[in-house]
Amino acid sequence: MTRQITLSKAVNEALAEEMRRDPTVFIIGEDVAEAGTPFKVLAGLVEEFGTDRVIDTPISEPGFVGMAVGAAMTGARPVVDLMFGDFLYLVMDQLCNQAAKTHYMSGGKLTVPMVLRTNLGATRRSAAQHSQSLHALVAHIPGLKVALPSSAYEAKGLMKTAIRDDNPVVIFEDKLMYQDKAEVPEEEYLIPFGEACIKREGRDITLIATSSMVQVALAAAETLAAEGISAEVIDPRTIVPLDEATLISSVRKTSRAIVIDEGHRNYGITGEIASRLTEKAFYHLDAPVLRMGAMDVPVPFSPALEDLTVPTPGTVAEAARRLCRGEAMDAA
Amino acid sequence: MPLDVIMPALGMAQDTGHLVAWKKKPGDRVAAGDVLFEVETDKSVMEVEAQGEGWLVDVAAEEGSDVPVGRVIARIADSPGESGAAEAQASAPAPDAGAEAPAPAPDTPALPEGRAVIMPVLGMAQDAGLLVAWSVEPGARVEAGDTLFEVETDKSVMEVPAEAAGYLAATLAAAGEEVPTGEVIAILTETAPEAPVTRTRAEGAAPAPATPPAKAEEPAPATPPARAEERARPVSPPAPAPETGGRLLASPKLRRLAHEEGLDLALLRQAGVPEPWHVRDLERLRALAAEAATAPAAAPAPATAGLRLVATLSEDSLAGTLAWAAERADLAPEAVLAGLAGAALGLPATVAVETLHARSLWHVPSRRLTAVTAAGEDATPSLVLRDLTASRLTEIAAGPEPAPVLTLTRGPAGLTLTLEAAPGALAPLAAARLLDGLAGRLEDPLRHLF
C-alpha cells in the first residue's frame, strides 16, 4: 500500500521509525525539538522521544557536530541537523578530519555511525549564504557517504539506510521540495546506497540528474518527447557510492549524456560524473558529455537573477536538442 | 618572390587598423623580421614585421590612416625598382572591405555581395590558419558573436565568432584547408541567400582582399614573370579536398564503428561532408566506401611495389663475426654469411652470396656452419645476400627480384642490412623475422645457436 506524503513527512517518518527501532539513535541540532526545525520537518518527535533524544543546541555548529562525532564513536547513532547546507564550512574539521578518518586512523577500532542531515537548493530567495549546494565538498572526502534524495520516496528510504550505516553519511534534502508529495509505501523499505534509479527510459540521450534536478530533467524529457527526442533520466540517488554501472550502461545505449546538478558547475559533481562517463564509455559517445550546474556566481538575492542561475527544464531541453543535432557546444 | 604586406587582423573583432607609423621607407631594403610599420589597436601599439626579405615597394597607405584589415598596403619585391599598378591606387579612397563585392573569376558563380570574413591573425607570428570546421551550415543565419568557424593555430583550436549578424552566403575554404591570414574565407549577407556558395581553396577562386580595380589594371608585361605565376589561379572543377594530414574530426563512436567495419573516414572529407562527423554520417560513409570499392582502376598501390625493410648493425659486428668463424672453423666468409642468412630464412635454404665482383651459391642444410656446402652455378637461390660493404654504397632500394635480397651496406652510422622482396614472396612478419634474425646473428653469432 502506498500513500502520497510530503518529503517533510517522509523524513519525519524515517526518523521516528528508526528511533523506535534503535534506542541509540538521537537527534541533535538547532531548533530541532519544540520548533521541529524552521522547515517543520521534525515536528512531533520531541513529544514522542523526549529532550534526551531530540536535543536543542546553541548556535554552535562545530561544537554540536563534534559532540555527535564523539557520541558516535562511543556507541550512539546521532542524526545531526545542520540547518542550512551552507553551514558545512563551519563543521569541516569535525566532519572531514574527524568523522571521515576515525575508522581508518583507528585501525578499524572506532566507527562513526553518524548521519549529518542538511539541505541544498536555491531559488528560495535566501541569498548567497543560505542557498548553496555544497555536496561536492563532502563527496570529495574519502570516508564520507553522500545521499541526495530526489523525492519523498527516496528521502525516507535513504534516511533509514543512512542511520543503519556504520559510516558517517551526509544527506542533503532540497529545501524547496519539503512540501512536494510522492507515493511512499506504508510498509518499511530501505533504499540501498550505490543504486541508481532510472526514472524514465529513453533511447536518444541520457540525462543524469541529482536531487531536485531530477524533476527538472523529467520535465525536460516530456518536452523533448513531443519533439521526437527520447531522453532517459537517471537519478544516482547517492553520489558516494556512485552506481557507475547503471550510468555507463545507459550512455552505451544512447551515446549522449548531460549531467545536471544544482552545485556550481565548475569543479563539481557534474565534472566527476562526466569524467567517468568519458573515461569508461568513450568509444560509445557520439557527442561530448555536457555538464549543467548552477552558475559560478554567489547565489543572487534578486529573484529574477537567482532564477537565471540554475538549470531549468527549458535550458536542459535546449542543451539536449543541440547535442542530438551534433552542434558544437557551449551550454551554460 | 614579391610578398604582399597586408594590414593584419591583430584583434578578434578588428575591422581596420590605424597605421601609426612606417618604420621603413619605400625603396628600403628589409630583412625578414624587420619592423615595417606600427599599428594601433584598441589595446596597444603593435609592430608588424616583414615576412620575407627584399625591397619595400608600392607603399599604399599613409601614416595616420585607418586601413581595412586584409588590405595590401605594400610589397616586398626582389629589386628596388619593381612596382605594380597598386601605386596608382595609393591615393584612391579606401572603400570598406566589408562592403566590397569581389569581381567573380570567369566560369565560376558570382560571389554574393556582403561582408567579407577573413582568416584572422590569431597569434603573433601567424601567417596562416588551418580551417578546422565551419560551425554553421552554408546559408544559415548567425548572430554577432556566434561561432562561425574554428581555426587551428600551432597552439590550439580557436573559435572565431561572426563580427556581425548575417547569413553565411559563401564559404571559400573547406574544413581542413590552410588559409593565409587576411584572405577572405566567407561572406555574410544581410538577406538569406537562395543558393549559398561553397568553395574550397583548392579551386583557387578566393579573391584577394585588395580592391578589384588594383588587380584588374595590373598590366601583364610590367609584372615580373614570377608574380604573374603567383597571381594566376587556375579555375578547375571542384577538386577533392587536399590531403592536409590534418586530423579528421569524428565522434569516438563513429570512429569505432568505422574501424569495426573497415571504413575509411577520409572518404567523408573527400566528399565534403562537414566535420565533425557523427554516427548519423555512417550511412553516407558506407555508401562512399561501396562506391570507392567498385570504382575502376582503384588500385591503391602499384603491383610492382614490394617489401622493403631496413635494420642497422653496429660497425664492426660483421668483421667480428667473420673473424670468429674463420678462427673457429676455418670457414670462408661467404659460407658463413650463407649459413647465417639461410638459418634466418628457414632451413634448408639455398643462398646466393654476392659481392661487387663475385657470386657464389651455397646449400645450407642445417645450423652447423661447417655443413654449408658450395652449390652449383645453376642452383636456384631461395635467398640472395649481397655484401656491398667493400663498396662506397650506403643505401640501396633496388626493387624486388625473384628471390628475397638482403643487402649489406656500410654507412656513416654503421652497417645497414636491407631486405627487399616481391609482394607476396614473404609475409611482412616473416620478412621481419628474417631481417631481425640475420641482423641478430651478425651482431652476436651466439644467437645462431638458438
Find, in chain B, the residue whose alpha carbon is nearest to that of A288. B251
Which residues, in sequence order, are CB contacts of A129 under 8 Å at separation 6+?
Answer: A86
pLDDT band at B155 (very low <50, low <70, confident <90, very high): low
Query: What residues of chain A, 117 to 176, have a C-beta less than 8 Å from chain B?
Result: none
Confidence at residue B98, expressed as pLDDT on a 0 to 100 scale: 40
Task: State the cell numbers at A18.
Answer: 528508526
Which percentage of chain B shows pLDDT scores above 70? 77
Least confident of A52-56, A199-203, A282-286, B391-395: B391-395
pLDDT band at B13 (very low <50, low <70, confident <90, very high): low
pLDDT band at A329 (very low <50, low <70, confident <90, very high): low
Q: What are the tens digits of pLDDT across the range A60-107?
A: 999 999 999 999 999 999 999 999 999 999 999 999 999 999 999 999
User: Are β-strands B66-68 and B16-22 bridged in parallel, bridged antiparallel, or unpaired?
Assistant: antiparallel
Helix axes A244-254, A269-280, angle to 10 degrees: 60
With contacts defined as CB-CB under 8 Å, which chain A residues touch B256?
283-284
User: Given CB atoms, is A284 within the 8 Å cutoff of chain B?
Assistant: yes
Under DSSP, the state recorded for A188 is -
Which residue segments constitute the domains of chain B, with CATH numbers given? 3-89 (2.40.50.100), 115-212 (2.40.50.100), 252-294 (no CATH), 307-449 (3.30.559.10)
Calculated CA dihedral for residues A272, A275, A280, A281, nearest 10 degrees: 120
Looking at residues B8-31, what average pLDDT do you find? Answer: 82
Looking at residues B5-17, what average pLDDT do you find? Answer: 75
Confidence at residue B42, expressed as pLDDT on a 0 to 100 scale: 63
**How much is the mean pLDDT over chain A?**
96
Whether A40 has a pLDDT exceeding 60, the answer reads: yes
**Closest Cβ opposite residue B252 in set A283, A328, A330:** A283
A246-252, long-range: CB within 8 Å, 24+ apart, which pairs?
Answer: A246/A195, A246/A196, A246/A198, A247/A196, A247/A206, A247/A208, A247/A273, A247/A276, A247/A277, A248/A276, A248/A277, A248/A280, A248/A281, A250/A198, A250/A206, A250/A208, A251/A206, A251/A277, A251/A281, A251/A284, A251/A285, A251/A289, A252/A281, A252/A284
Looking at residues B438-442, what average pLDDT do you find? Answer: 88
How many angstroms separate the CA of residue A286 from the nearest CA in chain B?
5
Confidence at residue B187, expressed as pLDDT on a 0 to 100 scale: 87
Q: What are the tens digits of pLDDT across the range B113-146?
A: 788 888 887 765 567 888 888 888 888 888 888 8
CB burial readout B161-180, b (16+ within 10 A) else e: bbbbebbbbbbbbbbbbbbb
Task: State the cell numbers at B205.
Answer: 577562386
- The segment with the largest mean pLDDT, out of A290-299, B47-56, B183-192, is A290-299
Which residues, in sequence order, are CB contacts of B317 under 8 Å at separation 6+?
Answer: B415, B442, B443, B444
Judged by CB atoms closer than 8 Å, whether chains meet at A287 and B251 is answered as yes
pLDDT band at B83 (very low <50, low <70, confident <90, very high): low
Please say if A103 is a catalytic residue. no
d(CA A29, CA A68): 10
**How much is the mean pLDDT over chain B?**
78
Tell me the DSSP string of B102-148.
PPPPTTSPPPPPSEEEE----STT--EEEEEEESS-TT-EE-TTSEE
Which percentage of chain B shows pLDDT scores above 90? 15
Judged by CB atoms closer than 8 Å, whether chains meet at B159 and A255 is answered as no
Confidence at residue B232, expressed as pLDDT on a 0 to 100 scale: 37
Looking at residues B283-292, what average pLDDT do you find? Answer: 92
Contact B116, B70 (CB under 8 A): yes
Q: What are the tens digits of pLDDT across the range B22-56?
A: 999 988 999 988 989 988 866 667 888 888 889 99
Q: What are the tens digits of pLDDT across the range A113-139?
A: 999 999 999 999 999 999 999 999 999
Query: B350, B341, B307: which is closest to B439 by C-alpha?
Result: B341
**Closest Cβ opposite residue A255 in set B133, B255, B279:** B279
Q: Which residues of B touch A (CB under 8 A)?
A: 133, 135, 147, 150, 159, 251-256, 276, 278-280
Q: What are the tens digits of pLDDT across the range B231-261?
A: 433 333 333 444 445 778 899 999 999 999 9
User: Are β-strands B157-161 and B166-171 bridged in parallel, bridged antiparallel, or unpaired?
Assistant: unpaired
* Secondary structure class of B38 (helix, strand, coil): strand
Residue B56: alpha-carbon gap to chain centroid: 31
How many angstroms separate the CA of residue B183 from the nearest CA in chain A?
25
Which residue segments constitute the domains of chain A, with CATH numbers given? 2-185 (3.40.50.970), 197-325 (3.40.50.920)
Confidence at residue B43, expressed as pLDDT on a 0 to 100 scale: 63
* R_g of chain B, CA atoms, integer Å: 32
From A130, A140, A244, A318, the catalytic residue: A130
Looking at residues A246-256, what average pLDDT do you find? Answer: 97
- The segment with the largest mean pLDDT, out of A72-81, A317-326, B308-317, is A72-81
With contacts defined as CB-CB under 8 Å, which chain B residues touch A283?
252-253, 255-256
pLDDT band at B304 (very low <50, low <70, confident <90, very high): low
Judged by CB atoms closer than 8 Å, whether chains meet at B256 and A328 is answered as no
Find, in chain B, the residue whose alpha carbon is nearest to that of A330. B147
Whether B371 has a pLDDT exceeding 50, the answer reads: yes
**Closest Cβ opposite residue A285 in set B133, B150, B253:** B253
Judged by CB atoms closer than 8 Å, whether chains meet at B278 and A326 is answered as yes
Under DSSP, the state recorded for A8 is H
With contacts defined as CB-CB under 8 Å, which chain A residues touch B276?
326, 328
Please say if A284 is a catalytic residue. no
Whether B225 has a pLDDT exceeding 50, the answer reads: no
**Closest Cβ opposite residue A286 in set B135, B150, B279:** B279
Confidence at residue A323, expressed as pLDDT on a 0 to 100 scale: 93
Confidence at residue B123, expressed as pLDDT on a 0 to 100 scale: 63
Judged by CB atoms closer than 8 Å, whether chains meet at A285 and B251 is answered as yes
Judged by CB atoms closer than 8 Å, whether chains meet at A328 and B150 is answered as yes
Confidence at residue B400, expressed as pLDDT on a 0 to 100 scale: 84
Judged by CB atoms closer than 8 Å, whether chains meet at A282 and B278 is answered as no
Residue A14: alpha-carbon gap to chain centroid: 16
Q: What are the tens digits of pLDDT across the range B379-398?
A: 889 999 999 988 888 888 88
Find, in chain B, the residue whose alpha carbon is nearest to that of A256. B253
Whether B346 has a pLDDT exceeding 90, the answer reads: no
With contacts defined as CB-CB under 8 Å, which chain B residues touch A326?
276, 278, 280
pLDDT band at B18 (very low <50, low <70, confident <90, very high): confident
pLDDT band at B106 (very low <50, low <70, confident <90, very high): very low
Find, in chain A, the residue whose alpha carbon is nearest to that of B159. A328
Tell me the DSSP string of B257-296.
HHHHHT--THHHHHTTPPSSB-GGGHHHHHHHHHHHHHST
Which of A286, A290, A325, A329 to mutate to test binding with chain B, by most B CBs within 10 Å of its CB? A286
Q: How far apart are the first and last CA of chain B?
A: 63
Tell me the CA distances in angstroms from B358 to B163, B335, B361, B390, B419, one per residue in order.
76, 13, 10, 12, 20
Judged by CB atoms closer than 8 Å, whether chains meet at A328 and B159 is answered as yes
Q: What are the tens digits of pLDDT across the range A222-243?
A: 999 999 999 999 999 999 999 9
Whether A108 has a pLDDT exceeding 50, the answer reads: yes
Contact B349, B383 (CB under 8 A): yes
Task: State the cell numbers at A210.
Answer: 541529482
Contact B238, B277 (CB under 8 A): no
Under DSSP, the state recorded for B97 is G
Contact B275, B250 (CB under 8 A): yes
Q: How many CB atoms lie within 10 A of CB A199?
A: 18
Whether B96 has a pLDDT exceeding 50, the answer reads: no
Calculated CA dihedral for residues B169, B172, B175, B177, nearest 10 degrees: -170
Confidence at residue A62, expressed as pLDDT on a 0 to 100 scale: 97
Judged by CB atoms closer than 8 Å, whether chains meet at A284 and B279 is answered as no
Judged by CB atoms closer than 8 Å, whether chains meet at A283 and B256 is answered as yes
From A13, A18, A30, A61, the catalytic residue: A61
pLDDT band at B300 (very low <50, low <70, confident <90, very high): low
Judged by CB atoms closer than 8 Å, whether chains meet at B135 and A328 is answered as yes
- The segment with the largest mean pLDDT, out of A176-180, B236-240, B409-413, B426-430, is A176-180
User: Are β-strands A238-240 and A25-29 bridged in parallel, bridged antiparallel, or unpaired?
Assistant: unpaired
Q: How many Cβ pairs within 8 Å bridge chains A and B?
A: 32
Regarding an ipTM greater than 0.90, the answer is no
Find, in chain B, the residue whose alpha carbon is nearest to that of A328. B135
How many angstroms separate the CA of residue B258 from the nearest CA in chain A?
11
Confidence at residue B15, expressed as pLDDT on a 0 to 100 scale: 75
- The residue among A331 and B426 whose pLDDT is bigger is B426
Query: B167, B239, B178, B164: which is closest to B203 by C-alpha?
Result: B239
Judged by CB atoms closer than 8 Å, whether chains meet at A328 and B255 is answered as no
d(CA B140, CA B349): 70
Confidence at residue B124, expressed as pLDDT on a 0 to 100 scale: 56
**Closest Cβ opposite residue B251 in set A286, A328, A330:** A286
User: Are β-strands B35-40 and B3-6 bridged in parallel, bridged antiparallel, or unpaired?
Assistant: unpaired
- The residue among B199 and A188 whose pLDDT is bigger is A188
Confidence at residue B306, expressed as pLDDT on a 0 to 100 scale: 82
Q: How many CB atoms lie within 10 A of CB B294?
A: 8
**Closest Cβ opposite residue A282 in set B133, B252, B276:** B252
